[in-house]
Structure formats: C-alpha cells, structure tokens
Amino acid sequence: MSRVANLDYIKGIGCFVMVPGHTLVLNIDDKASYYIYVLLHFFTCLFFTASGVTTLFQADRRPVSYLLTYFLILFFVGLTFTSIWHPQWLFDFRLEIVQVIMLGCISLLLMHQIFKDRWGMYFFAAMAIFLVKIAHDTWFPGWTGGNILFPHADYVPSHLRQEGDPLVTVGFPLFPWLYMFPLGVFCYFGKLKWNYLIASFCMVGAFFMFKQYGIDDFYDKWDMSIEHFLVVTFIISITFIIVRSVPIERLPLQKVAVFYGQSSLTFLYMHLIVLNLIGVALTLVASKETPYIQYIWYVLSYIGVYFAMKWIVDVRTSTWMKKESAWIILLAVVFAMPLITLYNENLKILVSISGLLIGLFMAHNYKSIKDFPSLRKLLNTNR
C-alpha cells in the first residue's frame, strides 16, 4: 500500500477517538470515563496533520488554482457542521473543524509555493504560528480578530469556570490551530531523527510544566495552553514515527482505520447521528447511575457507527449533486436556516438537525465536486 494509505490510517484513528470524545460524560463521579473524555481531546490534531500532508501530494498532481477553488467550496460545505454546534453562526461566527482544515490546506499550498521541499522551513513556520498566539495572549489578549484569529475574549476554560461565568463556545481559532499543518509536513517528510528529538523535548517540557503548575492547564484545548501544545506536538511526532517506521499492514486496526480515513468527511456527520440516537435510546432504558452506562454507550456507538458507515458507502451518490446549482441551493438553505432563530430561539435545534442531515448528504457526495464544469475548466486550462 502507498504512503498515502498511511495518511488515511491517521485520519481513521482520529475517527476512532472521535466517538467517545463526542459522547457526554453521564456520571461525573465516574473519573475513568471523564479522563478518557479529556485524553481523547488531544487527538484532534490527527485530522489536521494528515490533511496537510495530503495537500502536498495533491499539489504535485493538480494546479494551485484548482485546489484553492476546491478547498474554498469545501470551506462553505463545512458551514453545515458549524450549524450543528453554533445554530446562530450567521450572527456570531466560529470556525469549526472543516473550515480550519480547509484554511490550513490553503495556507500549506501557499507555503509550498515558497518553501518547496525545504522541510525545515515548515517546522519554523509551525513554531512561528504558535508564537503569534503567545504574543497575542501577552500583549493583546482583548483583541480576537472577530473570534476567528484568536479565541473569544470572554472564553473561560472549563476547569476555571465558576458558577455564574458565561459558557462561551470558541470553535477553532486559526492561531494556534494552523500550526499543526506545517508541523505535520515536517514530521512526515523530514528526517525521522527530528521526530524523536521533538517528542523528547515535548515530553520533558510537559513534565516540567506539570511539576511547576499542575495538571489543570493541560486540559485547555480551545484557547490552547503551552501545556496542551506540548502534548499535542508530542502526539504528532510520535504518530509520524509510527506510521513511517511500521509497515501499514502491521498497524493495529489497519483495515477499519483506513476505511474510516477514506470517508472521514462522511464519518464526521454520521458518527454524530449514531451517537445521539443511541444516547437517546439509552436514556429510555437506563439512567446515569446504571453501572458501566458510559462504556455501554461507547461500545454500542462503535458498533453502530461501523455498520452505518458500511451502509452509506454503498449508497449511490446523487447525479443531481454533479451540478453546481445543486450545491448552491443547499448552501443557500444552510445560510437561511439561522434566520429562523431570530423568530424563536427554541428553533436552534431545527437548525442543528438540518445542518447535520444536509452536511451528511453533501459529505457523501463531495467527490462530485470534481465534476463541476468550473473546476474542470481550471484543470484543463492549467495543464
């Protein structure tokens, strides 16, 4: 299998950890399930790094103008996912995972035009992006760049929030989340010894921060703390050590992970449907105090997601979705849906469900985008 299959494997492992990562902690007294929930939030980075490396493979086969247009289309498709978590996104915008991945891929395309295969430059770019975040927190903490460049100024990390503090959702601010894209490129294409050095440095640094300041700041994912940065960077470097050193046929869960990774956009929506349906069903037959209820939810969700993904990949894609007008119509609906919350805020759930279902339909058909006449024209013009 090709090295690109390794990238699908990384995305697939990200899908695995996403399942328990998106369940609610039903019983806060169950410390094990709580720490599982917290631990898995460090692994969001796998999607970012693998997507970034994939972009460079695409850049060798496709014109930059084609890829930029393709990524921008998917950026808008990602608004369906934004609708799930932020039903009033039209009035208070947050970047969600699809948008950040697309912007990260675009930033890598631009870096690739300058850096080419000078892999060390990607590492310095990654560190510079995180340093911008540190400089912002030090000198301009009140400026957020529209809550897109930096975290919302009113955001309070969950471990510091007290009774009465507002619950402010952050999304994925560009600084520092963009740093993972060039770092992934460096860890994939650079000399392997640097991965070992980065992992060692991060492990020592994380241990020092733990001894000096305790565990609390390690949890801060959204307004990424230095502690969280060290752990995530450690995970990225170790992940690429593994996939570059071990033949993919020998990696654990290889077949299922690659299967999920190849359909990761569809998985992003499908797993939420399955998780919520099973969660609702469990509330009808059990309570939060039911022994092992959290782990029953995990197991049933894994089984349900697997069969749901097996089913949907065999569903024929829509011929209607080969037309640009079809995507424009659906996106117009996505843009219009938040407006109904101005009439009644209780309709936010309707916006979320609509975003989930439309997003799943678009994700299942997203490969039809390459058949758009405008994209084909870009492809042929630049040959």
Q: Within 13 Å and on the Cβ side, how many CA atoms surround 368?
A: 18
The mean pLDDT value for 101-128 works out to 96
- Mean pLDDT taken over the chain: 90
Asked if residues 261 and 9 have their Cβ atoms less than 8 Å apart, the reply is: yes
Find the range with the poorest average confidence among 54-58, 164-168, 284-288, 297-301. Answer: 164-168
The mean pLDDT value for 33-45 works out to 80
pLDDT tens-digit map of 6-23: 999 999 999 999 998 888
pLDDT tens-digit map of 178-230: 999 999 999 999 999 999 999 999 999 999 999 888 887 787 788 898 999 99
Residues 237, 199: Cα–Cα separation, whole Å: 6
Q: How many domains does the chain have?
A: 1
The one-letter amino acid at 281: A
- pLDDT for 25 equals 67
DSSP run (H or E) holding 200:
helix 192-213
Query: For residue 118, is pLDDT > 90?
Result: yes
Query: For residue 2, is pLDDT > 50?
Result: no
Residues 271, 281: Cα–Cα separation, whole Å: 15
Residue of 280, 348, 303, 383 whose CA lies nearest to 91? 348
Query: 28: helix, coil or strand?
Result: coil
Query: For residue 1, is pLDDT > 50?
Result: no
| Residue 111: domain span | 3-381
Query: For residue 102, is pLDDT > 60?
Result: yes
R_g of the chain computed on alpha carbons: 21
- pLDDT for 30 equals 72
pLDDT tens-digit map of 233-252: 999 999 999 999 999 999 99
Q: Within 13 Å and on the Cβ side, how many CA atoms surround 46?
A: 27
Query: For residue 285, is pLDDT > 80?
Result: yes
